[in-house]
């Protein structure tokens, strides 16, 4: 099945806008699936559970998202809050994966 939708600047109806939003949401879910795959990889690679939470890295990731949002003219403060939630959810997921992994 081919994803056909218009770019935002080419939309002329709300149906086209909604199709684009739905397609974008599906693409975001694919990216989140990949991101959480990296959390599974991190849980597999890290040898200590307390290494899962890295406040320096968390801060870096959120600042990077905020700077990128600013450069794109997006609401940077709100994006930073979304990233805060994303990173915290990722940490919780990685901890769960770490706790459930097979150990030698």
Q: What is the DSSP string of 6-72?
A: --GGG--SHHHHHHHHHHHHHHHHHHHHHHHHHHHHHHHH-S-GGGS--HHHHHHHHHHHHHHHHHH
> In the chain, where are the structural domains located?
8-100
Confidence of residue 104 (pLDDT cuts 50, 70, 90): low
The CATH T-level fold of domain 8-100 is Chorismate Mutase Domain, subunit A (1.20.59)
Question: What average pLDDT does this structure show over 10-34?
Answer: 97
User: What's the pTM value of the predicted model, to 2 decimals?
Assistant: 0.89
pLDDT of 1: 47
CB 87 within 8 A of CB 66: no
* % of residues, the chain, pLDDT over 90: 91
For 52-92, write each residue's pLDDT tens digit: 999 999 999 999 999 999 999 999 999 999 999 999 999 99
């Amino acid at each position: 099945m081919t994803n056909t939708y218009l770019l935002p600047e080419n939309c002329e109806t709300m149906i086209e806008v909604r199709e684009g939003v739905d397609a974008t949401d599906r693409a975001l879910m694919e990216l989140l699936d990949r991101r959480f795959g990296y959390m599974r990889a991190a849980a597999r690679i890290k040898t200590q559970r307390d290494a899962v939470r890295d406040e320096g890295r968390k801060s870096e990731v959120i600042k990077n998202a905020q700077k990128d949002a600013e450069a794109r003219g997006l609401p940077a403060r709100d994006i930073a809050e979304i990233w805060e939630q994303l990173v915290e959810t990722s940490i919780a997921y990685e901890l769960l994966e770490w706790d459930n992994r097979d150990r030698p």
